[in-house]
Amino acid sequence: MEQVLVLIIILLSLASSGRCSDVYSRNDFPKGFVFGSAVSAFQWEGAVDEDGRMPSIWDTYVHSSDGPTGDIACDGYHKYKEDVRLMYNMGLDAFRLSISWPRLIPSGRGPVNPKGLRFYKDLIDELIRHGVEPHVTLYHNDLPQVLEDEYGGWIDKKIIDDFTAFADVCFREFGDKVKSWWTINDPNMLAWGGYDLGVFPPMHCSPPFGIGNCSRGNSSTEPYIALHNMLLAHASTARLYKQTYKDKQHGSVGITLFAYWMVPFTSSEEDKIATQRAKDFFLAWVLHPLVFGDYPDVMKRTAGERLPSFSKEESELVKGSSDFLGLIHYTAMYAAHLSTSIHAGDFNSDMNALLLPFGNSTLFKFDVLPWGLEGVLEYIKQNYGNPPVYILENGTPTNQHSSLNDIGRVEYLHAYIAAVLSSVRNGSDIRGYFQWSFMDLYEFIDPNYTYGLYYVNFSDPERARSPKTSALWYTALLQGSTVSSQKLKSLSVSSSPALSFQ
């Protein structure tokens, strides 16, 4: 009898110590680990021409055709108190928001707009009052149009001083309450998509390169120049914080990285090499300068003169300038060597790797591939000295007009947060996880596909918010419940009769 008991105890303890991280609770994460959710100013606030706000390059882009716009979006500008209340009720630790530069400093540089300042002070105060920690991104793709018109925005070095001055206002005005600052969202994706492919504002590209309407730009040089200036603007801002604010405010400043994980399309040697090249062009483009003060050799060899070089002083400024790293991860991609060389001489052909979606994934549907997030985290741990990392965006789209019962999103989040836990257990220094997005936002790739925990009725002038199943699931996790994929099957919100989906 005793032997049987001992055996049972051994089996039980094996089961719990070796249990796979499919079953977990927030108590399994390190003390102080932050669970949050995110939005960006342009996609959430609306009120685009209210109280002195001027247009950004996004406003210009969405108004260049007849499609939907972000003019009202979620109307967060007017409904922020209601939204903070939702966060409080969920038990959200932190909220990632961004500051609209053309709302705070409508002319790009110079006078601060008092009503813009008031809005962000009120929003930040409201968060703090409800125990929700603000994580603030300074630049989430919404450059003041006036700076684009005046000197081409990120392709001119003048942006460094203007950005630093904008950041200075934010640190001075909000820094007593905000301790986590993120300078630039997705710099690598913005540089590639905005200046080579021409698919994101400001839609620069040059024939024969680019997918978008190449009315201006230079795909051979501008992606490299834009990213270079983003790194310098980030580093200049981080230096300002250290020199002027850190002693009083005790916060930290970091930059973000859009991080696909990439695996070889076939087992061929060429695809393996192409995969490493894609990591060097896409990830190391940002990570190498931050950690080693220079671009990776393969980029320098391939792009030659088209890749700006760091002066000794700049190199020292950029190296070590990020207190923590913000990862933006949605999915894994295959990388394949391109044997038929298309047109040589832009970022894309320099990288010379075709990125292909996995399985059934499309732009609007991601397979659940949590090992991809583990891959990125492990790669950064092993190659870049295990810096402190926050996952700043992770989530999956669903059709906005389908159902509140978004069990696919719950499965995705469950698996990806489990992957974060595995990486923590394997030694990655991960400090927090932000789900994208807190509510359905104005998504510019296709507004029919949204990422929210809360449904927003964009046909309703009141922009009513309703929790989806994923909001209930995340609430349970935040409030300490143990979650397991077995339990997922029993979850669902009953669609309120007031909501009628097509």
How far apart CA 336 and CA 268 sit, in angstroms, is: 9
How far apart CA 254 and CA 321 sit, in angstroms, is: 7
Shortest distance (Å) from residue 63 CB to ligand NAG: 12
CA distances from 371 to 148, 357, 361, 375 (A): 39, 15, 15, 6
Which residues are bridge partners to 436 per DSSP? 38
Please choose, out of 180-188, 190-198, 389-397, 494-502, the segment that lies near ligand NAG by the rule CB under 6 A: 494-502
Q: Which is nearer to ligand NAG, 91 or 212 (CB)?
A: 212
Q: Which is nearer to ligand NAG, 309 or 426 (CB)?
A: 426
382 belongs to the binding site for ligand NAG (CB under 6 A): yes
Cα-Cα end-to-end distance for the chain: 62
DSSP annotation of 242 reads I
Q: Please tell me whether residue 360 adopts helix, strand or coil conformation.
A: coil
Can you tell me which of 1, 460, 490, 497 binds ligand NAG, judged by CB under 6 A? 460
How far apart CA 445 and CA 488 sit, in angstroms, is: 30
Torsion angle defined by CA atoms of residues 415, 416, 420 and 421, in that order, rounded to the nearest 10 degrees: -20
Q: Please tell me whether residue 259 adopts helix, strand or coil conformation.
A: coil
Peptide bond into 208 cis (omega under 30): yes
Can you tell me which of 405, 457, 475, 484 binds ligand NAG, judged by CB under 6 A? 457
Shortest distance (Å) from residue 457 CB to ligand NAG: 4
206 belongs to the binding site for ligand NAG (CB under 6 A): yes
Give, as ranges, the residues between 5 and 34 that touch ligand NAG (CB under 6 A).
none
Give, as ranges, the residues between 266 and 305 that touch ligand NAG (CB under 6 A).
none
208 belongs to the binding site for ligand NAG (CB under 6 A): no
60 belongs to the binding site for ligand NAG (CB under 6 A): no
Q: Which is nearer to ligand NAG, 69 or 221 (CB)?
A: 221
Give, as ranges, the residues between 416 and 445 that touch ligand NAG (CB under 6 A).
426-427
220 belongs to the binding site for ligand NAG (CB under 6 A): yes
Strands (E), 221-331: 252-258, 261-264, 325-328
Can you tell me which of 401, 482, 485, 489 binds ligand NAG, judged by CB under 6 A? 401
Strands (E), 177-297: 180-184, 252-258, 261-264
DSSP annotation of 30 reads P
115 belongs to the binding site for ligand NAG (CB under 6 A): no
| Contact assessment for residue 38 and residue 435, using Cβ atoms and an 8 Å cutoff | yes
446 belongs to the binding site for ligand NAG (CB under 6 A): yes
Q: Which is nearer to ligand NAG, 339 or 502 (CB)?
A: 502
* Nearest residue relative to ligand NAG (C-beta): 359
* Burial zone of 239 (CB within 10 Å; 0-12 exposed, 13-18 middle, 19+ buried): middle
Shortest distance (Å) from residue 410 CB to ligand NAG: 16
Q: Which is nearer to ligand NAG, 244 or 405 (CB)?
A: 405
* Alpha carbon 379 to chain centroid, angstroms: 18
Residues in the site for ligand NAG, rule: CB under 6 A?
A: 206, 213, 215, 218, 220-221, 359-360, 367, 374, 378, 382, 401, 426-427, 446, 448, 457, 459-460, 499-501
